Structure 1
Amino acid sequence: MIEDLWLIGIGTGSPGHVTGEGMQALRDAATILVPHKGAGKDDLAELRRRIIAASGTAARIITFDYPVRDPDLPYIERVDAWHDQIAARWQAALGPGGADGPVALLVWGDPSLYDSTMRIAARLPAPPQVRVVPGITAIQALTAAHAIPLNTINGPVQITTGRRLRDHGWPEDAETIVVMLDGECSFRNLDPKGVTIWWGAFLGMPEQVLHHGALADAADPIEAMRKAARAEHGWIMDIYLLRRR
C-alpha cells in the first residue's frame, strides 16, 4: 500500500532541471521507484539514477519493469489497460509490506503536462495522498535552448500532440503551436507556407540536438537528425514549436 506518493518532475533528463524542492523531496522520500523500459532504453533508468545520486538521498531504490501496450487494442482502451498494469507493478515492486513512508517517482518533463502518472495513481486500490513537485518542462527547455519566447506579443499558444496534429491539422485560430509526443514527424502533414519550426531533442543533455528554420526547408534535416539520434541512442525525446507568420 502507498499512503504518500511524491511525483517529482525531472525536466528532460538533466539533473539541472530538477528544482531544489525536488532534490529535497528525493532526500526525504523513504522509497524511490525506478522503471526499466526494456532493451535499448537502459540509459533512461541510468539518467534517473544519476539524479537520485546527485540528491544524496538514503532512500530505498526499487526497480520495476514497465509493461508494454497491447497494439491490438484501440488507442484509448490500450492506454487504459496499460495504466492499470503500471499501477499494479508499482504495488508488486513494493511487495506485500507496502511502503514505510513516502514513495517517490521521477517524472520526465512535468507531472502536469501530457503525463499520466497522477491518473495512474488514482487507479491504486487505495488512492494515496499525492504531492506534485514540478520541474523544468520540455517546453521551457525548448524555448530556452533556442532563445525564443513561447508567444508573440499578446499571442495565443496551443499545446497539442503529434497524433492530433496528424489527424486534425493546424488548430483553428492558432498562431503558435507546441507539439509533444510525436513519433512520426507529423509536421509533414502541414502546408509549410509561412510556418517556422524550432525543434529539439535530448534537451539540456550532452546529447542535445537542435534545428530551426522555415518548415519547407527544415523538415528534411529534422527528420534525418531525429532518425540518426534515435538509432544512436535507442530512444528519443523531442519536441517542437511551430509558428505562422
Structure 2
Amino acid sequence: MVPDRGIFIVADGMGGHAAGEVASEMAVRYIARELGSIRGLGDDQVADRMRAAIRAANGAIFQRTLTEHDKRGMGTTVTALGLYETHFLIGQVGDSRAYLLREGKLIQLTKDHSYVQEQVDAGYLTPEQARTHPYSNVITRCVGANSDVMPDVYLGTVKPKDLYLLASDGLTGMLEDPQLGELLARDRMPQEHVDELIGEANRHGGLDNITAIVVRIDSVDIPLGDTQQITQPGARRR
C-alpha cells in the first residue's frame, strides 16, 4: 500500500510458495513505482499509466522466469486501486477482486479472469456451480506468465463513506458476497474489518492464503481542491 499516494494493491502469487512470493512482491513494487503520483491526472492519463505499470511488472516477472530456473512458471494476480480527486480506477489481472460497499449495497467491481467465469459468461455454469467447480481456481490471465498482458481497467466516482475491499481468492472463495456485505456493513475501522473477514474465512475452512485490504473514504472535499480524507487503511496477509 502507498496510502499517501492513494495506491492500494493486492497480488496473489503462484508457481510454488517461494516463487509466488517473489512474483507478488515484484508486482507490488513495480506497479507502485511505475504509477508514481496519480493525483492531478486526468482519467485517460491514469488509465494509461495503470495499464503501463501492470505491463511493466509483467515484463519484469516474465524475464526473471526466463533467467532463473527455480522461478519458471511463477506469476501473480494483481488488483490495484488508485484514488485520485473524486474518482477511483482499478487495474486487474487474474481472480483477485475489488468490491465497493456503498449505501449498504455490495458491488463487485471486477470480473475474474478464470475458467469458471468464462463458463458462466457462456451460460454453461451458474455462479453457484462455479464456486464449487473442480476448476474454480484455474485462472486464464496472470501477470508474468507471458511476455505481455492486457489488464482490465475500471473507472468510477468516489463518494463519502465508500468502503473498498481488495481481496485474493483465499477470501472470496471462502465467503460469498452476502457474507462479505454483512461483515463490511458493520461499524468497524478498516483494520477491524480485515481481521473479521480473515477470521470468518478461516472458520469456513481457510483453504488458501488470504490477502485483503479495506479502504474507507471519510469525505470527498471538492471545494478545497478535490481532496479525499481516507481513514487509515486496513491490510493483512495470511
Same fold (TM over 0.5): no
Which structure's CA Rg is the greater one? 1
| TM-score, normalised by the number of residues in structure 1 | 0.30
Could you say which structure has the greater relative contact order, defined with CA pairs below 8 angstroms and 6 or more residues apart? 1
| TM-score, normalised by the number of residues in structure 2 | 0.31
